[in-house]
Amino acid sequence: MLINIPHREFIIKDSHRGLWFEDGELTKVLEAGRYRIPAKTRWFKRLPSAEVQLVDVRARVPALL
């Protein structure tokens, strides 16, 4: 799931991690918690465009054939 709407609040569950991209470049990995996408501008200054890609990190059991 991709989250990229400014001022949008979102919650990352314990079973997921968030990959934080600024202008298309991975800058940090988010742990479980509550976060917000910042606005693109602030006092006439352009800030980097931010996106968060959610990744499921739960262990998976291989299927038996």
Instruction: Say what the pTM is.
Output: 0.76
Would the pLDDT of 32 be above 90? yes
Percent of the chain with pLDDT over 90: 45
pLDDT in tens, 45-60: 677 788 899 999 998 8
Q: What is the structure's pLDDT at 21?
A: 93
Task: Please state the rounded mean pLDDT for residues 12-38.
Answer: 92
Q: How far apart are CA 59 and CA 34, in angstroms?
A: 23
**10-19 tens-digit pLDDT:** 999 999 999 9
Contacts of 5 (CB under 8 A, 6+ apart): 37
Spell out the domain ranges in the chain. Answer: 2-56
**DSSP-assigned letter for residue 62:** P
Going from the C-alpha of 13 to that of each of 24, 32, 33, 39, 46, the distances in angstroms are 23, 5, 7, 23, 31
